[in-house]
Each structure stands twice: as C-alpha cells, then as structure tokens.
C-alpha cells in the first residue's frame, strides 16, 4: 500500500512537472505569436481605411498588456470579416501611406512594405553606439524574403528607436547633472562675491571708526595743549594722547589683520574652485567635441555620415542664398550591391564599401565634401561648382570606382556606381535638390547603370 502511494506520488509529481514545462512552452509560443501578429498588423496598417480601425483595435489589445483570448478572437474575427468585406476592392497604394518617403519607388526593392521600411531605416540617424545595429537592420530589411522576415525587422526597428530614445534621455540627464553642478558652483561664486562686498564694507567701517577715533584724540590733545600749565604737564598729556592714538591703530590693525587673513583663505579656496571648474569645463568641452565628431562619423568607413552631410548642406545652402556661387550635389549608389553581398558575403560587402568610401575621400577635390548617406549610397557636395563642372568630377569619380581592382578567389570583381547630379536653382531647398539628384540617380540605374545623369 505504501509502495502504491509512493508510486502515485511520483506519478503526480511527474505530471505536474510536465504540465509546468508545457505551460511555459505554450506561454513562449503565445508570446511569439502575439509579437508576430503585432508586427503583421503594423505592416498592414494603412492599407485600407475600412480595415485600419480593426487593426488599431487589435494592436491596442496586443500592446496594452496580456489580452484575454476571447477578446483577441473577437477582434481577429471582426478583422477577418472586414477583410472579406473588401473582397475585390483594391488596397491603398503604398505611396498614399503615411510613411515619410522621399525617394521615388524603386522596383527592385520588392514589396511595397519592404520598400517603405527600407526607406524608414535609411532615414533614421542613430547614436554612434547603435550604428552597427542600424547597419545590420538596413541590410536585413533589404534581404528580408517575406512578410514574416519584415515583421521581425519591424520589431527590431521599434527596439532601435526605443533605445535611441532612452540613450538620448540618458544624455539629457547627464547634461542636466552637469548643468546642476555648474549652477551650484556659480552659486558658490555669487555667495563669495556677496561676502566680499560685505567684508569690504566692514573694512570701510573699520577705517572710518579709526578716522573718527584719531580725530577725537587729536581734538582732545589740542585742548590739552592749550590747557597745560607747564612743560611737564604738557608732556604728560601729549604722552597719554599719543598712547591712546597708538592703541586705536593697534586695534585697527588687529581687526584688519583678522579680516585680511579670512579674506585670503576665502580667496584661495575660491581660486581653487574656479581652477577646478575650468578643468571640468575643458574636459566637458573635449568630450562634447568628441561626441559631436562621433555623431557625425560613419565609423565603419571612417568618413562623414548623413548627419554631417545634413549640417554641411544646410550651411552651404545658407551661403548659397546670399551669394551667386553655384552649388551642386551628387548622389552615388553602388550598382548591384546586393549581388556582391549575396555572392561574397556581407563582410566582403563591407570591405567594398570601405574601399569605395576611401577612394571617394581621396579623389574628390579639396573643396568638395563627401559623406556616406546610408547603406551603399554616398553623397558629394560641390560647393562653387555648377552642374557641368560637378558632372565632370562625378565622371572622374565613377571612373575611379570602376577601376578599383577588386578580386575574389583571384578573379577580378567589377564594381561600378551610378551617379545623379543636381544643381541648386532659385527657389530650391536642400531636400528638393536631393530629390532631383536621387531621381537622376534612378534614371542612371534605369539607363543601364555605371553612368552619371544630371537631374
């Protein structure tokens, strides 16, 4: 009987363990499915006005904490009904969706969702420490084979944006801490100044008190001289008067001595404080300059990044508005770069990007500015050059890229680039000129690649 009990007990334990394991597994599966549905709803949002409210309700239920299975089922049924109700009505085209798209549609990007996400990833400028992740994501979006792959990329993009936000908040907090520190030091300085002013008045008061005492004693002495009846008495009175005046001076010196010692102590402390503040300020300045430089550098290639381009073009545009100097840009995109990645791997692709980036840096003119715009796209600012001159330099750059001697397994690998050139015209904004250069770039692509086109 005891044996039976033990047997049941162990069986019961086994069953509980198994159920616990299974429950954990199902929870994990459920969580993945919820994430997947959330991602797919994100991808599908914007496709049709009639479907959007159902998608929004489903997304809200998925993101607002653990949702009840029945609620989810009801919501997903109503979404299915709405989708069935659409029957043959066309979905809204991707161009109409509320995604900030600046570049024209490129057929090769594959599905519209992929294209939109590609552009979205291309547009975000992240902190240096997140740059590698953003580059990986950019690559994975371009290579995603289906909607599930894209949905995962969507989740990663959301994580990236979130981390960027948290990182920025951290930087703001750190900056606020520095500001608080500086404010407290300034406060000390102000208190010091106030104390010094008060001290100065004490010094003046001491001086005035001495003046008054000496004047009083002199008056007494004058009277004594008049009143003295013989030389002896006169000497006595003068002696007492001088003694009193000397005591006034001694008293004054003592008080001033104490005051000056305290003043010197405070002044020395304040000098040390100011010196410390200066050291801290210099360190902060250096780290800010470093941060600034890092934020504008593409660390993979070691050249200015898109943020640097945006700052530079803004400055060039401002001066273009006030002078008659011409200003042009060129958008450079490596041809069939995906196939380089696919054939030789991403590491080889990265190396190609590095070599091309360095070649561009080497061969642009000293007055030109080149940056990696994102992915396999570079951008050059030709300050002071019109489109004809910029085209000429662009042709030279295209030739340099074409003649870079890439090899794989001892076989030469031909790498070329297409370039779109555009000059600023009256009424243009930097964005408008970029779009013209980008459009010209696609014309170059469509025209057979490895060429320069003016937009």
Ligand X SMILES: Nc1nc2c(ncn2[C@@H]2O[C@H](COP(=O)(O)OP(=O)(O)OP(=O)(O)O)[C@@H](O)[C@H]2O)c(=O)[nH]1
Least Cα distance to 330 among 280, 290, 380, 370 occurs for 380
Strand partners, 328: 382, 423
Q: Assign 299 to helix, strand or coil.
A: coil
Strand partners, 29: none
- Cα-trace Rg, the chain: 40
Q: Which range touches ligand X (CB under 6 A), out of 25-33, 169-177, 346-354, 421-429?
A: 346-354
Alpha helices in 45-146 (DSSP H): 52-63, 69-86, 112-123, 131-143
Least CB distance from residue 145 to ligand X, whole Å?
12
138 binds ligand X (CB under 6 A): yes
Alpha helices in 296-305 (DSSP H): none
The one among 309, 320, 337, 382 contacting ligand X by CB under 6 A: 337
CA distance 213 to 207: 10
Catalytic (active site) residue 376: yes
The one among 48, 338, 354, 365 contacting ligand X by CB under 6 A: 338
Contacts of 153 (CB under 8 A, 6+ apart): 117, 121, 137, 140, 141, 144
For ligand X, the binding residues in 419-438 under the rule CB under 6 A are none
Least CB distance from residue 305 to ligand X, whole Å?
12
The one among 154, 241, 326, 349 contacting ligand X by CB under 6 A: 349
Q: Count CB neighbours of 294 within 10 A.
A: 14
357 binds ligand X (CB under 6 A): no
Q: Which range touches ligand X (CB under 6 A), out of 17-25, 239-247, 345-353, 404-412?
A: 345-353
User: How many chain residues bind ligand X (CB under 6 A)?
Assistant: 21
Site pattern 360..399 for ligand X (x: CB under 6 A): ---------------xx-----------------------
310 binds ligand X (CB under 6 A): no
- DSSP code, position 130: G
335 binds ligand X (CB under 6 A): yes
Query: Which CB sits closer to ligand X, 239 or 299?
Result: 299
Query: Which CB sits closer to ligand X, 64 or 107?
Result: 107
115 binds ligand X (CB under 6 A): no
CA angle 426, 428, 430 (to 5 degrees): 140
CA distance 100 to 59: 21
Least CB distance from residue 402 to ligand X, whole Å?
14
Q: Count CB neighbours of 249 within 10 A.
A: 12
Least CB distance from residue 361 to ligand X, whole Å?
17
CA distance 114 to 360: 29
Query: Which CB sits closer to ligand X, 333 or 428?
Result: 333
The one among 217, 333, 435, 438 contacting ligand X by CB under 6 A: 333
Q: Assign 423 to helix, strand or coil.
A: strand
Query: Which CB sits closer to ligand X, 115 or 390?
Result: 115
Least CB distance from residue 164 to ligand X, whole Å?
18
What's the token pair of residue 442? Answer: 């696609």
CA distances, 156 to each of 133, 138, 178, 217, 279 (Å): 9, 11, 33, 91, 41
What's the token pair of residue 406? Answer: 């890439």
CA distance 371 to 303: 6
Least Cα distance to 114 among 122, 136, 33, 35 occurs for 122
Query: Which CB sits closer to ligand X, 122 or 428?
Result: 122
The label of the residue with tokens 């340099």 reads: 400
The one among 143, 163, 199, 386 contacting ligand X by CB under 6 A: 143
Single out the catalytic residue among 310, 376, 377, 387.
376
The one among 52, 350, 386, 389 contacting ligand X by CB under 6 A: 350
Is residue 52 within 8 Å of 45, Cβ to Cβ? yes
Least CB distance from residue 321 to ligand X, whole Å?
33
341 binds ligand X (CB under 6 A): yes
Query: Which CB sits closer to ligand X, 89 or 407?
Result: 407
346 binds ligand X (CB under 6 A): yes
Least CB distance from residue 418 to ligand X, whole Å?
7
Residue nearest to ligand X (CB): 349
Q: Which range touches ligand X (CB under 6 A), out of 90-98, 166-174, 204-212, 344-352?
A: 344-352
Least CB distance from residue 336 to ligand X, whole Å?
5
Least Cα distance to 163 among 140, 131, 117, 120 occurs for 131
Please report, as ranges, the residues that interact with ligand X according to CB under 6 A: 108, 135, 138-139, 142-143, 333-338, 341, 346, 349-350, 353, 375-376, 445, 449
Tell me the catalytic residues.
376
């Amino acid at each position: 009987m005891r044996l039976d009990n033990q047997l049941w007990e162990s069986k019961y334990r086994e069953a509980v363990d198994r159920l616990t394991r299974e429950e954990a597994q199902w929870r994990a599966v459920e969580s993945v499915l919820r994430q997947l549905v959330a991602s797919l709803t994100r991808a599908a949002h914007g496709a049709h006005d009639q479907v959007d409210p159902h998608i929004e309700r489903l997304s809200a239920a998925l993101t607002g904490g653990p949702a009840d299975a029945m609620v989810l089922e009801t919501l997903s049924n109503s979404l299915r009904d709405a989708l069935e109700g659409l029957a043959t009505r066309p979905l809204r085209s991707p161009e109409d969706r509320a995604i900030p798209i600046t570049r024209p549609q490129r057929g090769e990007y594959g599905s519209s969702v992929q294209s939109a996400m590609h552009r979205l990833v291309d547009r975000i400028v992240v902190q240096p420490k997140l740059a590698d992740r953003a580059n990986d994501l950019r690559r994975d979006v371009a290579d995603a084979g289906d909607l599930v792959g894209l949905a995962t990329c969507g989740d990663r993009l959301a994580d990236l944006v979130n981390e960027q936000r948290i990182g920025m908040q951290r930087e703001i907090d750190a900056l606020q801490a520095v500001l608080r520190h500086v404010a407290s030091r300034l406060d000390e300085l102000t208190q010091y100044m106030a104390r010094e002013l008060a001290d100065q008045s004490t010094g003046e008061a001491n001086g005035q008190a001495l003046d008054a005492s000496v004047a009083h004693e002199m008056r007494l002495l004058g009277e004594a001289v008049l009143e003295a009846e013989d030389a002896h008495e006169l000497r006595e009175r003068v002696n007492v008067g001088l003694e009193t005046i000397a005591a006034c001076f001694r008293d004054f010196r003592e008080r001033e001595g104490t005051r000056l010692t305290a003043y010197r102590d405070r002044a020395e402390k304040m000098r040390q404080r100011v010196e410390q503040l200066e050291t801290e300020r210099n360190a902060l300045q250096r780290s800010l300059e470093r941060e600034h430089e890092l934020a504008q550098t593409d660390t993979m290639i070691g050249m200015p990044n898109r943020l640097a381009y945006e700052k530079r073009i803004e400055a060039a545009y401002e001066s273009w508005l006030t002078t008659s100097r011409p200003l042009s840009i060129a958008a450079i995109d490596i041809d069939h770069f995906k196939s380089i990645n696919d054939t030789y791997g991403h590491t080889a692709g990265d190396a190609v990007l590095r070599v091309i980036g360095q070649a561009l840096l080497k061969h642009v003119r000293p007055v030109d500015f080149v940056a990696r715009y994102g992915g396999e796209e570079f951008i050059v600012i030709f300050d002071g050059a019109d489109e004809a001159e910029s085209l000429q330099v662009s042709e030279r750059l295209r030739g340099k890229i074409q003649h870079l001697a890439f090899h794989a397994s001892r076989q030469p690998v031909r790498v070329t680039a297409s370039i779109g050139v555009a000059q600023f015209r009256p009424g243009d904004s930097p964005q408008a000129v970029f779009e013209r250069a980008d459009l010209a770039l696609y014309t170059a692509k469509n025209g057979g690649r490895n060429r320069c086109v003016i937009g």
